[in-house]
Amino acid sequence: MFLKSYTGADDARIYHNEGDCVVRYVKEQCNRHPTNWPVEPGTIVAAYAAHTRQTLYLEQKDFCNKNHPLGLGKPGKQPQRSVILPMLTPNNRVLAIMEFDKDETGFKEEKIHYALAYGSWVTAALIRKGIRESLRDAKEYNATILNCLKCFLHEKLTLNQCISAIMITMREFIRAEKVIFYHIIADKKLDADIYEATSYNRDIFTKVSRKIDLRKDFLMKDVAENHVVVNIHKGDEEQDFKKYNITDPAINSVLCVPIGNPKRLLGIVKVINKVDHPMFFDIDLVNVSNAGMYCTSIIFYTAIGKQLDNTITIANKQKVTLTRHMIPCIHDIIQFRSRPITKPPPYYLSFDWYPTKDELSRDLLADYVWWMFNDLFEGDVFMEKFDVFVLMCKKGYRKTSSYHNFEHAFCATHCMFVIVRTCSQKFSYLEQMALMCAMLCHDIDHPGNTNPFLKASEHPLSKLYKFAFLENHHSNVTRILINHCKIFDHLAPDDYKAMVDDMHRLIVATDLAKHFRKKKYLDDLVKDKRFDDSLPAHKMHLKSIIMTTCDLSGQFKPFDRTREITFSLYIELYKEGDWLKSKGLPVHSTLDRTRYLDIPQDQVNFLSMVVIPCVQLLVQMVPVLKDPYTLSCNNLDIWKRVSFSKLFH
């Protein structure tokens, strides 16, 4: 041993600190026998030095005293004097104890210093070795915990079993005697469910009590309310034990870690009594915190899963209720099937046709819709179920909406019918069917409000969808209708999917905000003569423009009809404006009933900036569809010339 000869020692020994005891390995023949002593006063000098972390320089007469009555850990003849050097880590942990004996002249001081310095190098080497080992241990620890999560997600472990496995792995890894996990009950910062090892088996962890009020425990209250980590031990900081009223004599050290953030506490992990040290280390805090995060996450995951199941159940039940309300009365179905369906007048094939007031009062719109669909799809299996579909669709539109009602759906569907008839070669049979059905359903269950209103009033639909709240809702209700009526069940699976996907895209395309976002791109496409409707993406753009054109078709009817349609829209808009005013929010002139005299000018703006650019783009894409453009321009001229007072005459 190098140090032994350098210091001139007659003999030297090393004791390993193995947690709660110092161990000396004695070689006898070919075997090494460990002999150990607890790290505390009352046995050998090395155990006492490990306990106090002090370097001792002892004469023979001092080898045995009340602190170390067994003297040196060396059997047989005792030396005259001995130096005992604890090798300390930077955080004051004793790794080993070295003992050097000298019989005659004693140690030279500089050699003792050298021994101390050398001891530090040895300690550093041991620390590096320890770090390597602990990294390996940490890797295994993390792998074990991740495996617990994996088993939980694969449903091989229940929630309790997973928490149990994580907490026990953590407890053993950081060498704590006990661990308690507090799961904070949502929205009640100081109420918690407690998970800990059962009294009969410390390796089974379970929820032992529910809804504990943490205010009754000073330590937990401090951690919960102030979101602080508390790491205390008996001894140096005994006043903390008093502060937190910890009176249990079996508790020597406590580490309490909050999980979550100061705004939202999710849980607290409390570990008690570090086995091989007076208190817990900083690295323990990280491991405790990680284990707590994992446990909190899986509890949260489980709760979300339960909520999701409940929500799906509720949604399915509401879907059944909604469908039931949309199913037409059996008498209406019988009547629709038994009487001859009224045919629309021959000139209904033009864009500017609109049912007369008499036709509207005779409730003929469903009949006319049936005729239009039959005109396009006569003899198709689809038509066998179409009567129920159209009656359900009619019922799905709210009569309380003055504009977004079945009459508007009819108006838009009629425009679509004329377009499809005019250029049927442009669209496949299924495309025609999707365009017609999407148009008929495009505003189903419309509440008579705009998307910005839904957002401002925090309507549930604005939470359900990211954008185009209404259009997504109409599409969703349409899907319910399709499923109930089974109108596409005769299609091959791929065609069925293409049909419902296409209908969804078409309905969502009626969101004007989306239309404006695409408009510039489409204008450039047409201007640069790059538009090619044989390309699927371009074809979809064309269909979107057609959907918007049909949706706006009330603006290119004979002026008197357009005027009435426009007023019915203003009735809806003014109701919305009233609500905005009541909330002190800014109101646009089109929503402000006190500015009704601005209607002609607002209409001029609407036609110039929305309707005409849209139908103009359409005619550029499909020149044969020029009528909507011509009719819109005519109405624009009238709106420009008319004063409000004349609108009623």
Which residues are known catalytic residues? 404
Q: Which of 407, 431, 443, 627 binds Zn ion (CB under 5 A)?
A: 443
User: Quick one: 9 or 419, whose CB is closer to Zn ion?
Assistant: 419
DSSP code string of 157-176: S-HHHHHHHHHHHHHHHHTE
Stretch that binds Zn ion, among 63-71, 177-185, 549-557, 572-580 (CB under 5 A): 549-557
Site string for Zn ion, 553-582 (x = CB under 5 A): ------------------------------
Site string for Zn ion, 492-531 (x = CB under 5 A): ----------------------------------------
Site string for Zn ion, 370-399 (x = CB under 5 A): ------------------------------
User: Quick one: 551 or 572, whose CB is closer to Zn ion?
Assistant: 551
Which residues touch 269 (CB under 8 Å, ≥6 apart)? 167, 179, 180, 181, 182, 256, 257, 259, 288, 289, 291, 292, 295
If one asks whether residue 407 binds Zn ion (CB under 5 A), the answer comes out as no
The number of beta carbons lying within 10 Å of the beta carbon of residue 272 is: 20
Stretch that binds Zn ion, among 103-111, 146-154, 357-365, 551-559 (CB under 5 A): 551-559
Angle, alpha carbons 108-117-73 (nearest 5°)? 70
User: Quick one: 443 or 572, whose CB is closer to Zn ion?
Assistant: 443
The answer to the question of whether 241 is labelled as a binding residue is: no
DSSP code string of 172-201: HHHTEEEEEEEEEPTT-TTEEEEEEE-SS-
Give min distance, CB of 475 to Zn ion, in A: 13
DSSP code string of 309-337: HHHHHHHHHHHHHHHHHHSPPHHHHHHHH
Alpha carbon distance 335, 327 (integer Å): 15
Three-state secondary structure call for residue 5: helix
Size of the site for Zn ion (CB under 5 A): 2
The answer to the question of whether 442 is labelled as a binding residue is: yes
User: Quick one: 48 or 397, whose CB is closer to Zn ion?
Assistant: 397
User: Quick one: 352 or 551, whose CB is closer to Zn ion?
Assistant: 551
Q: Are 223 and 240 in contact (CB under 8 A)?
A: no
Burial class (CB in 10 A: 0-12, 13-18, 19+), 61: exposed
User: Quick one: 511 or 551, whose CB is closer to Zn ion?
Assistant: 551
Bridge partners, residue 178, by sequence: 272
Give min distance, CB of 376 to Zn ion, in A: 21
Bridge partners, residue 288, by sequence: none
CA distances from 520 to 524, 527, 562, 612 (A): 6, 10, 27, 14
Stretch that binds Zn ion, among 21-29, 153-161, 421-429, 437-445 (CB under 5 A): 437-445
- Alpha carbon of residue 105 to chain centroid: 76
User: Quick one: 385 or 505, whose CB is closer to Zn ion?
Assistant: 505
Structural tokens at position 422: 């005019």
Give min distance, CB of 448 to Zn ion, in A: 11
The answer to the question of whether 414 is labelled as a binding residue is: no
The answer to the question of whether 406 is labelled as a binding residue is: yes
Give min distance, CB of 365 to Zn ion, in A: 15
The answer to the question of whether 408 is labelled as a binding residue is: yes
Stretch that binds Zn ion, among 182-190, 371-379, 384-392, 440-448 (CB under 5 A): 440-448
Nearest by Cα to 68 from 96, 95, 43: 43
Q: Are 291 and 183 in contact (CB under 8 A)?
A: no
Alpha carbon distance 141, 574 (integer Å): 65
Structural tokens at position 300: 């949260």
Give min distance, CB of 412 to Zn ion, in A: 6
CA distances from 600 to 636, 644, 647 (A): 9, 7, 9
Nearest by Cα to 626 from 617, 636, 638, 635: 617
The answer to the question of whether 443 is labelled as a binding residue is: yes
Structural tokens at position 446: 């419309």
Structural tokens at position 328: 């037409």
The answer to the question of whether 531 is labelled as a binding residue is: no
Give min distance, CB of 547 to Zn ion, in A: 9
The number of beta carbons lying within 10 Å of the beta carbon of residue 64 is: 16
Helices vs strands, H then E, count in the chain: 25, 12
The answer to the question of whether 405 is labelled as a binding residue is: yes
Structural tokens at position 299: 């509890």
Nearest by Cα to 234 from 226, 224, 222, 244: 244
Bridge partners, residue 38, by sequence: 21
Stretch that binds Zn ion, among 82-90, 110-118, 147-155, 442-450 (CB under 5 A): 442-450
The answer to the question of whether 60 is labelled as a binding residue is: no
If one asks whether residue 431 binds Zn ion (CB under 5 A), the answer comes out as no
User: Quick one: 367 or 551, whose CB is closer to Zn ion?
Assistant: 551
Stretch that binds Zn ion, among 43-51, 283-291, 348-356, 547-555 (CB under 5 A): 547-555
Phi/psi for 36 (5° steps) reads: -135, 155
Stretch that binds Zn ion, among 7-15, 250-258, 390-398, 436-444 (CB under 5 A): 436-444
Alpha carbon distance 269, 259 (integer Å): 8
Q: Are 563 and 556 in contact (CB under 8 A)?
A: no
Of the chain, the end-to-end C-alpha distance in Å amounts to 118
Residues 13, 16, 17, 18, CA torsion sign: negative
Give min distance, CB of 408 to Zn ion, in A: 6
Give min distance, CB of 442 to Zn ion, in A: 6
User: Quick one: 287 or 548, whose CB is closer to Zn ion?
Assistant: 548
Give min distance, CB of 342 to Zn ion, in A: 24
If one asks whether residue 551 binds Zn ion (CB under 5 A), the answer comes out as yes
Three-state secondary structure call for residue 531: coil
Give min distance, CB of 507 to Zn ion, in A: 10
User: Quick one: 207 or 505, whose CB is closer to Zn ion?
Assistant: 505
Annotated binding-site residue numbers? 404-408, 442-443, 551, 603
Contact residues: Zn ion, CB under 5 A: 443, 551
Which segments are annotated as binding site for Zn(2+)?
408, 442-443, 551
User: Could you tell me which residues are annotated as the binding site for AMP?
Assistant: 404-408, 443, 551, 603
